[in-house]
Amino acid sequence: MMTEQDFRDLMAGVCAPVTVVTAAEGGTPHGSTVSAFASLSLRPPMVSVALDRASGLLARIQTTGRFGVNVLGAEQKALALRFAGRSANRFDSVRWEYDHDLPRLPDAPGWLVCELTSAVAGGDHRLLLGTVVHARTATAAPLVYGHRTFGTHSAFAPVA
């Protein structure tokens, strides 16, 4: 029988990109670090993001119907930790701006603007499906999370 800890240990070995998902409501920026992010479709371009059902960010995205995804670079571990914390002032002392009316971290190498297509219940999380309406990218190594630590793809050797 698999325990919750068995599942956690198994999933810790699966590397995932590190993103900061954002939304704005009433002129106030909101954001959280999310590693449960994936490409979903090319036609139309879609992504998926999983957020805890108790997340305030989830409620704001469901209210506004839009969210942004900042794909963090290999040198942005501190930024990932800042948005993973419980601080109510995550945007204080962080360089950010509005882009398409969503909070954007301009130093992040990737940026997506998404319209919420649907939200699917999944245990203690909700899976948000978003259609990408704007994307900006740069050629920088992404920050990834795996084995309970931060790293980058460039640290991995190709498999023959």
Q: Structural domain boundaries of the chain?
A: 17-147
pLDDT in tens, 103-120: 999 999 999 999 999 999
Which one, of 82, 63, 68, 73, lies nearest residue 23 by Cα?
68
pLDDT in tens, 67-94: 999 999 999 999 999 999 877 789 998 9
Which fold is adopted by the domain 17-147? Answer: Pnp Oxidase; Chain A (2.30.110)
pLDDT given for residue 43 in this prediction: 97
State the pTM of this model.
Answer: 0.92
**Three-state DSSP class for residue 128:** strand
What is the Cα–Cα distance from 112 to 110, expressed in whole angstroms?
A: 7
pLDDT given for residue 138 in this prediction: 78
User: Is the pLDDT assigned to residue 158 strictly greater than 80?
Assistant: no
pLDDT given for residue 13 in this prediction: 87
What is the Cα–Cα distance from 20 to 95, expressed in whole angstroms?
A: 13
For CA atoms 108, 112, 118, 122, give the dihedral sign. negative
Average pLDDT over residues 26-47: 95
User: Is the pLDDT assigned to residue 95 strictly greater than 90?
Assistant: yes
Question: Is residue 130 within 8 Å of 19, Cβ to Cβ?
Answer: no
User: Is the pLDDT assigned to residue 156 strictly greater than 60?
Assistant: no
Helices (H), 73-131: 77-84
